[in-house]
Structure formats: C-alpha cells, structure tokens
Amino acid sequence: MGKKALPRQLSEKEAIAKAKMIRTSPSKLSLVAASIQGKKVGKALAELEFSRKRVADEVKKVLTAAIANAENNHNLDVDQLVVSQATVGKALVMKRFRARAKGRAARILKPFSNLRIIVKELGEEKA
C-alpha cells in the first residue's frame, strides 16, 4: 500500500542522468554543457576527455551515467545515442568572508551547480 508510481516524463527513446552540488559556478559549467549538446555521445566523450576545463571531468561522469542508464535500464542502442539536452541549474551558494584592513570584510561566494543530461536514441534514418 504505497503511493502509485508517477508516469515517466521522458519518451521511451530517452534516458537521463543528474548530478547535484557540483562545486563550480553555473556559468562555467554551462560553457562545457553547451559544447556537448546536440552531439553524438562518442564525440561528446572525446571532447570532454581533451577539454582543458576542470569541470569537464564531472560532466563526463554524468554523461557516462546517462549512457549506462540508456543501455541498462531502457535497452537503447549506444551507437545511436545523441546528447539531446544538457541543462545547468543553480544550487546553493556558500558565503564566506575575508578579513580586510581597518576591520572591514570582503565577501567570498562559493557557488554550487546542478547538471542534468538527457540522451536520446536516433533512428537509423537520422544517423
């Protein structure tokens, strides 16, 4: 006697992976997320592998999790997967201060971000 399961929000050809509380600002993370959007997963993984951005490793982890979800949970073909969406959201911001001269203080903001990647299987005609 539990609650009824919610209906699936994605289509049958899509899989999702999320990461919460990534220790970087949303603007820095969205640069990397936008660079992989719309690409095949093989090309996206290669781009993240050789990216010079520090947060590219976190994005790569989430992308591999989305690929694994698509393969294991939804029986999708890995060779036909494309990154359909890579969205970035704002999480909490830790506020710290730095002591300055004459008893003043300077504010230090340490932002966190959320990342959501959706991969979609394309049909044979699109690939």
- In the chain, where are the structural domains located? 14-121
Give CA–CA dist 44/12, Å, rounded. Answer: 22
Cβ atoms of 29 and 55 within 8 Å: the answer is: yes
The reported pTM is: 0.89
Query: Which pLDDT score is estimated for 56?
Result: 97
Query: Which pLDDT score is estimated for 55?
Result: 97
Query: Which segments in the chain show pLDDT lower than 70?
Result: 124-127
Residue with tokens 């394309």: 122
Q: What is the CATH number of domain 14-121?
A: 3.90.470.10
Query: Which pLDDT score is estimated for 90?
Result: 97
Q: Which residues contact 16 (CB under 8 A, 6 or more apart)?
A: 10, 66, 69, 116, 117, 118, 119
Query: Which pLDDT score is estimated for 47?
Result: 97
Query: Which pLDDT score is estimated for 20?
Result: 97
Q: What are phi and psi of 8, to 5 degrees?
A: -65, 130
Query: Which pLDDT score is estimated for 126?
Result: 54
Tokens for 36, please give them. 């992989």
